[in-house]
A and B are shown apart, each in its own frame.
Chain A
Amino acid sequence: MTMSSAVRPVFRAVVATVVPEAEQLDESGWRELETLAEAALRDRPPAMVRQLQLFLRSIQWLAVLRHGRRFTSLDPERRVRVLTHLQDHSIEIIRCGFWGLRALAFLGYYGRAEALRAIGYSPDPRGWEARR
């Protein structure tokens, strides 16, 4: 999936709701995150990628139905409510769609070396030797 200009703002708004620390990313941080997400989708079936893009567009308009504004224009609290609605939806395929999007957000955010440093994850192939 190449993050088209139409869905990029929604994707970023979703990521920043799923991982609030993402709000602090600068443009190069966002580019890195999006590159990781795009790479993870490269070998997935095209239909799945299309569904994901459609899901992102639906989130934008679901927010209009529920709160009178597009998702990207909502405050953080209302964004959380929209995504929580999807996460707990009574229809399984909608929950699955959100799960996939959420996974992609985590992959992009926690796939970056900077995020690993920030959370204190520092494995070393030398294992015990590196700690002693």
Chain B
Amino acid sequence: MTRRSYDIVIIGSGAGGGTVAQELSPLCREGARIAVLEKGPKLHDEEFTGRELEMAMALYEDGGGFLTAERTMTLAFGSAYGGSTAVYTGTSLEPPQRILERWNVPQLTFADVVQRARKFAAENSVHFLEEGLINENNRLFVEGCRRLDFEARQFPVNLKGCRGSSLCNLGCPNRAKQGTDRVQLPRAERNGVEVITRCEVLRIGEKTIDARVCGKPAGGKGEPSPWEPGEYQIDAKVIVVCGGAVNSPALLMRSGLARTLPRLGHGFTCHPAIIMVAEHDRDVTTFVGHPKSFYLDQFAERDRFLLETCAYFPFTTAKAMSGFGAEHSRFLRAFPRLQMILVLACDEVDEHNRVGVDRSGRPVVHYRFTPEVRRGLVEGAIASAKIFFAAGAARVHLPVAEAPTIERAEAGRLKQIAEHPDFKPGKLSISAAHLQGGCAMGRGPADSVTDGYGRVHGIPWLFVADSSLFPDSLEINPYLTIMALADRVAETIRQEARTLL
């Protein structure tokens, strides 16, 4: 066992951890020693090949197919330098006021969070893509929405020099996406923060961390860890947990904190999603241009779903569709002519849905689809089908229909399908990438895990700064909000540095 000692250790390097690292890095100039422990690897620029399986295995936990305990949904989250910011599409929305008010967290105001979100929007080059860089998949979505009187809105995205590779979800091969891997972490490192990759934290003790550094596997991608492979015990005066909504609660549970924090792991939400595809008579070519430029949120409050444009890769697309055999293959053979839309359900906290750990300490996510989530996904799928047809699609693959191929002439069947959907968990492919909750902010241990500044109840030196802080679903893409909350946590630590360090 090798021993190390730091003033501050940050666990995880995604939107939360990367932000905390940057915001605390000025303390290095005053002599503070700060380390970021990241479980995943740091890849060389030339290793971002855009090849689906290769990149998924290199950048995601379980290759992007982390299964829930019920095995009815897969969760996608990054495990790399930059965490999930290495694999998202860069969509950067401010949090909705109605959601923050509903969260009702003491000392957390909408104005404060938005102000911080705007700081990071500016820092990470968030802007609207210019008209000439909008691809056909996105144009068709806008056109379909316009014909139906739906109000499609453009995503602000954090891109700089986007070449339109379409490969955002496999790690940008052109360094254009401004995640924490490109902005906050390099800045933190320049200021003196150490980033230790391939370092998995096993448990947290009294101001100490047990961790394991793995060697680079033969034939694997990325730099070796700056530390030798082996077991480590790391002393730290302050620990900030930023492992995301699955790994952060699981780590705190492995560390024995569930006994004093009964809400640990509870309140998990994730925007369960289904991928919709439709075939046109002409090329759409989803695989050129930024994949996610527009969304539709006008149904979020009433019908509990969001629609977003998307562009997935052949295996992901094949897996996401229902059924198999000749009908299924026909859609895949039409790949250049496919239009795609992502349907996301606005789920809410449900007592069953939570993060736990198994006997070996691995995270386990329990999730069931409430009637509201089922209805949201079905309504969203039907709305997507209408948009596809309005945009001129010849046929739609509707995964919630017993016979999923709907020809243009059969569009009248949609109403009937909406009334009698074929929604069978285990048959329908459902995935989620907006993982939230598990270490919720709140008033005290009876209702939450941390206070409004991410400090774990009863443990003054332990903080959480990631999406696990959300007390309920954000109902939009979460990254800017995570960064804003992480900024609050870092500010608190800076303000209390004299006593904490």
Contact = CB atoms under 8 A, between A and B. Distances in A.
Contacts of A126: 163, 165
A17 B251 CA distance: 42
Given A100-B71, A111-B53, A18 B325 contact: yes
Contact of A21 (B57, B314, B329): B329
B206 interface: no
B165 A123 contact: yes
A64 interface: no
A61 to B, nearest CB: 21
Contacts of B319: 102-103, 106-107
Contact of B50 (A98, A109, A125): A125
A92 B332 contact: no
B377 to A, nearest CB: 16
A36 interface: yes
A24 B314 CA distance: 19
A93 B65 CA distance: 17
Contacts of A80: 325
Interface residues of B, number: 46
A14 to B, nearest CB: 9
Interface in A45-93: 80, 83, 87-88, 92-93
A127 B164 contact: yes
Given A40-B63, A87-B323, A125-B174, A119 B426 contact: no
A71 to B, nearest CB: 14
Contacts of A131: 285, 288
How many residues of A sit at the interface, in one of the four size bands?
Answer: 35 or more
B423 to A, nearest CB: 12
B314 A122 contact: no
B165 A99 contact: no
B424 A119 contact: no
Contacts of B335: 119-121
Contacts of B71: 93, 96, 99-100
A127 B165 contact: yes
Contacts of B174: 125, 127
B318 interface: yes
Interface of A: 17-21, 36, 39-40, 43-44, 80, 83, 87-88, 92-96, 98-100, 102-103, 105-107, 109-111, 115-116, 118-131
Given A87-B427, A96-B425, A123-B167, 10 more contacts: A18-B324, A18-B328, A20-B326, A39-B53, A83-B324, A96-B72, A106-B315, A107-B315, A123-B288, A127-B289
